[in-house]
Structure 1
């Protein structure tokens, strides 16, 4: 990279972050103000929700230098399935299961990315803690879950919690080496993903959370942004 290109790189990433924030705000505002029909606010949400994910995905794909080519490839593939999940969940029909499956596959790819330099459950306590958190939420939500969703939700929670646990285990494992910064970004993103999905599940099945779109989407985009940030070597 030339000196001029190196100097321009930070500004390029700042512009990308600004675009991501604006798209995320559009998705949140559109969701909060939509009447539920195809009004202008709903259209804003439909455009900005996938756009924010696409921008984050692109930033992960373009991140240089990456932690490794394999980590970048697996993580970006996971984000592609997250994008598919975004689209399924905002369709004007009930495609909740399709969205769940898309995100589940995405988490499998995230786990694969997190295993490129750290074996699964390298720090077992981290994985056990996240699985216990998922089990506690399942226990609390179980009476409100439709019977047809019991198995898909259980599988999803196990995979999501395993992804979060692996990310924390990886950050723990690399706490004092060259991957410390990127691994911490990945752990933050994985835990935010766990929080976002917790809020979504409670809002959908148990109780109405005030301004739910704000909390769910803000934590979701923050999760994806942190995961994208974890691609770039140097923390």
Structure 2
């Protein structure tokens, strides 16, 4: 890891910790959330921007996904009014990630990850469905479909990877997809089912870990 990458990593960790502290531990510092939540995702965008990526289209779609995620983060600073716009922004982010991953592996080239994530998505929806308002049910279903397809395709990239360095990054990518599913499952359970103690801690930690894993899938530059 280069010096600049290490600096970005440290800055991201500090920013994430401050955002989580403001959100999860009732410090009565909402400004921390408003400043450091968007800043953390912006730092991950900067980290990804400095990586070359392999296929140029894959890099462009990953960057687009991160930028759409930043828009979603901003929208969700207002949890009620911003929920639907945030949901749409993240749905489009997952579509961008899905397009990125299909640049290097044929869609659904391995069926097992899609079957597994379909079962997981179905189980999550089955548990949460009674608590989802009717007006949000169609957007939520669409979101879950794109989320689970993104995570499944990330696993496909891993299963089809060749070479040690490529395989390591692909394994990290698959982990990122799984963490994104975990983060959104926690968020949805907290919103539509049962309040989770220290929910922001678990949701934001898994969310930013997922985004970092996806950004890390892009190939690092040799210099700088």
Which TM-score band applies after superposition, normalised by the shorter structure? Answer: over 0.9
Aligned equivalents of 1:220, 1:75: Cα separation in 2:
15
Aligned equivalents of 1:62, 1:68: Cα separation in 2:
15
Conserved in 1, the CA contact under 8 Å of 2:53 and 2:219?
yes
Conserved in 2, the CA contact under 8 Å of 1:88 and 1:96?
yes
Deviations 1:155-214 (A, max 9, x none): 100110000000001101115566212211211111110100000000111111111110
Deviation of the 1:137 alpha carbon: 0.4
| Cα distance change, pair 116–211 in 1 and its aligned pair in 2 (3 A) | same
Deviations 1:109-133 (A, max 9, x none): 0000000110111101111111110
Residue 53 of structure 1, aligned match among 34, 41, 44: 41
Equivalent position of 1:17 in the other structure? 9
Pairwise CA RMSD: 1.7
Equivalent position of 1:102 in the other structure? 89
Equivalent position of 1:89 in the other structure? 76
**Structure 2: 5+ residue stretches without partners:** none
| Cα distance change, pair 195–92 in 1 and its aligned pair in 2 (3 A) | closer
Q: Secondary structure at the match of 1:72?
A: helix
Deviations 1:20-44 (A, max 9, x none): 0001001101112447xxx5x1001
**Structure 1: 5+ residue stretches without partners:** 1-8
Conserved in 2, the CA contact under 8 Å of 1:67 and 1:232?
yes
Greater shift in the superposed pair: 198-207 or 25-34: 25-34
Q: Secondary structure at the match of 1:67?
A: coil
Equivalent position of 2:213 in the other structure? 226
What TM-score results when the alignment is normalised by the length of structure 2?
0.94
Question: Is 1:168 aligned to 2:155, yes or no?
Answer: yes
Conserved in 2, the CA contact under 8 Å of 1:167 and 1:186?
yes
Aligned equivalents of 1:113, 1:176: Cα separation in 2:
20
What TM-score results when the alignment is normalised by the length of structure 1?
0.89
Count of matched residue pairs: 221
